[in-house]
Amino acid sequence: MGFLSRLFGSKKQELIVNIPGPGLFKHDVVGESKYQKELSAICGGKTEDGHKKVVTALLIHEDTNKYDNKAILVAIDGNPVGYLDRENARQFRKLLADEGYPGAGATCAAKIVGGWQREDGDEGHFGVKLDLPVVE
C-alpha cells in the first residue's frame, strides 16, 4: 500500500482542489528537518549553489496526527516533507470549508530551497516554501 493510500484509506477517489497563489512563496513549511533525505532525493542531491526548485505540493488533512488533530501534511512527489504550522493549518482548513470543500486535499506551488554543499564544508539544509494566498 502506497503512502497516500495509507493516509487516505482505500477510497478510490478523493477531492483535490488546486489553490493558486500570488507567486510569493511566503508560507514556510515546518518540520522539514526530519525529511532531508526525501527533499534531497526530490532535488537530485545537494549542489554547490543549492536549489530553488518549483514543484507541486499536496496538502493533506492529517486528523489522526497524535500531536495535532488539525495538522496539514505537505507531500511532494508522494513523499512527506513537513507540515503547515498550526495557525496556517487552521486557516487552510477554514478556507476550504468556507469554499465548500471541508476535508478536501489541495495542491499548490511549492519551492524547495537550500541544499547546498560547498568545498569549504559549508552546507545548507533543504527548506520548503508554499505559494498560498496571503491572508491579511
Give the model confidence (pLDDT) of 98-122 as tens digits.
989 999 999 999 999 999 998 888 8
Distance, in Å, from the CA atom of 27 to the CA atom of 32, rounded to the nearest integer, reads 13
User: Average per-residue pLDDT in the chain?
Assistant: 89
Amino acid of residue 60: I
Rounded (10°) CA dihedral 58, 115, 68, 79: 40
Task: Please answer whether residues 75 and 3 qualify as being in contact, where contact means their C-beta atoms are separated by less than 8 angstroms.
Answer: yes
Q: Say which range, 6-10, 29-33, 35-39, has the weakest mean pLDDT.
A: 6-10
Q: Is the pLDDT of residue 39 over 90?
A: yes
Task: Check whether 75 has a pLDDT greater than 90.
Answer: yes
Specify the pLDDT at position 135: 67
- Percentage of the chain with pLDDT > 70? 88
Confidence of residue 11 (pLDDT cuts 50, 70, 90): very low
Q: pTM for this one?
A: 0.86
Which DSSP state fits 35?
A: G
Confidence band of 12 (pLDDT split at 50, 70, 90)? very low
* DSSP three-state, residue 109: strand
CATH 1.10.8 fits 20-131, yes or no: no
Q: Report yes or no: 72 and 83 within 8 Å, Cβ to Cβ.
A: yes
